[in-house]
Amino acid sequence: MKKDISFYHCEELDAALKLLAEDNNLKPIAGGTDLMVEMRNDENFQENISGLLDITALEELQGITVKENHINIGALVTHQEIVNSEVLQEKYSALVAAAAAIGSTQIRNRGTIGGNVCNAAACADTLGPLIAFEADALLESYAGERVVPAADLVTRPYQTVIRDDELLKCFRLPLPAADTFSNFQKIGRRQALAITRISLALVAQIADGMVKQVKVVPGSTTPVPEPFAGVEARIRDRKIADLKPAEIAAAASEEMVSITGERWSTPYKKPALETLVTRALVQLKEVADNE
């Protein structure tokens, strides 16, 4: 028989962190769109935890706030709030596109960016754009706060560096430079409620017809979304007019195979990833041409 577990609801961050410090077997729950499914599917889920901690009332984890040099996105911000945010639409369109592509209306209304990242599925759509925008994760525990780059947050599928006594408070995204191009694409097996087959987040800072800085983060291609350094090197500090999308795309698929090896899905993922990389770069060139 399934073990009974406790359900805690905290109104204040301190109280929540204190609970987490005292009981290292509590599982935070926010939107529950992943967790509830896992609880139903995993016979032993309740065996392995002492209780659930409802964090939805914690103010410090809520809202999108614009600071002088960065923007904070609270862990409890829902995908729909991201989609609706004018400031995010203006400055982080790839993140907005990723949030808009998640699940369904119902999932986007409940699911949070914090949950999407903390669940740490290889197909989590928002992590790629967060890495590409060089976001930091602010983790808080009763003992104090620490900052971890989004790129270092997930160590392997369904595993993060977040300790049992910590909560993800928010993501801190540096304000992008004025001429920043960003692109997010996703392939699924249907138009909604589809687990991502492949996604791509590409963020490039443009100046004087050159790419000054670039991040290329494919999703669902590697165990954990990670920047493709080899591809980035072929784009960074180059003249945009000289970029050859097809060649760079081919390098991206090679880089994917160098990380994962040849798998059953590789014959599909190689050309499909090449398509996404090519399209992102063609769009980058068009945008640069128009400026």
Partner 1 sequence: MPEKKQVNKSKKRVDARAKVTGKAKFGADLKFHNMLYGQVVRTEYPHAKIININKSKAEEYPGVEVVMTAEDIPNNLFGVIIENQQVLAEDRVLYIGDGVAMLAARSKKAAREAAKLIEVEYEELPGVYGVEEARQADSPVVMPGEENNQVIHHPLRKGDVSEGLTEADIVMERKYTTQFVEHAYIEPEAVTVVPEERNTLVTVYGAVQNPNATRDAVANVLDCDLSKVRIIQDNMGGSFGGKDENISAMACRAAVMALATNKPVQLVNSREESIIESYKRHPYTMNYKIGAKDDGELVAMEIEAVADSGAYACQTPFVTWRSVVQATGPYEVPNVKTDTYGFYTNSPYTGAMRGYGSPPVIFAQESMMDELAAELDLTPAEIRRKNMFKNNSRTASNQKLDNHEVSLTEVMDKALSAIDYHDKYEKYNQPQDSTIKRGIGFAISYRGVSLGAEAIDAAGAIVSVQKDGSIILYSGLAENGQGLKTVFSQIAAEELGVSLERITHMETDTSVSPESGSTVASRSTLVGGSAVKKAAENIKTVIAEFVAEEYDYSGKIIYRDDALYTKEGERIVAFPELAATAFHNGVFLSSYGWYKAPGISWDEETGQGRPYFTYVYGCQAAEVEVDTGTGEVKVVNMSAAHDVGKAINPANVRGQIYGGAVMALGHALMEDLGFSKGFIKHTNFDEYLIPTVKDAPENIEAIIVENPDPAGPYGAKSIGEPAMELGGAAINNAIAQATGRRLRDLPLNLERVLLGRNLSKED
Residues lying near partner 1 in the complex (CB under 8 A): 1, 37, 104, 187, 189-195, 197, 264-265, 267-268, 271-272, 274-276, 278-279
For residue 33, the one-letter residue type is T
Nearer to partner 1, 31 or 176 (CB): 31
CB of 229 to partner 1, least distance (A): 24
Nearer to partner 1, 95 or 276 (CB): 276
DSSP state of 85: -
Kindly provide the residue ranges of all beta strands, DSSP E only, lying in the chain, ordered along the sequence: 6-9, 26-29, 51-54, 64-66, 70-74, 136-141, 144-149, 154-156, 159-160, 167-174, 180-187, 198-207, 210-219
Q: How far apart are CA 171 and CA 113, in angstroms?
A: 9
CB of 264 to partner 1, least distance (A): 5
Q: How far apart are CA 102 and CA 186, in angstroms?
A: 10
Nearer to partner 1, 66 or 192 (CB): 192
CB of 257 to partner 1, least distance (A): 15
Nearer to partner 1, 257 or 272 (CB): 272
CB of 69 to partner 1, least distance (A): 37
Q: How far apart are CA 244 and CA 249, in angstroms?
A: 9
Nearer to partner 1, 1 or 147 (CB): 1
Tokens for 185, please give them: 């694409």
CB of 105 to partner 1, least distance (A): 10
Containing 79, the helix (H) or strand (E) segment is helix 79-84
CB of 192 to partner 1, least distance (A): 4
Nearer to partner 1, 10 or 249 (CB): 249
User: Residue 185 in 3-state DSSP?
Assistant: strand
